[in-house]
Amino acid sequence: MTCRELGGACDHVHVGDDANEVIKAQDAHLRDAVAAGRSDHEPALRDMKGRWRRPVSGMKWYRQVQRDFAARLGAEAER
Q: What is the pLDDT along the chain (79 residues), one digit of tens a residue?
A: 999 999 999 999 999 999 999 999 999 999 999 999 999 999 999 999 998 888 888 899 999 999 999 998 877 766 6
Cα(first)–Cα(last) distance of the chain, in Å? Answer: 17
pLDDT at 78: 67
14: left (phi over 0), alpha (psi -120 to 50) or beta: beta
Contacts of residue 19, defined as CB under 8 A and 6 or more positions apart, other chains included, come to: 65, 66, 68, 69, 70
- Please state the domain extents for the chain: 4-78
- Could you tell me the CA-to-CA distances from 23 to 17, 28, 42, 78 in Å, in that order? 11, 9, 16, 24
Q: What is the pTM of this model?
A: 0.86
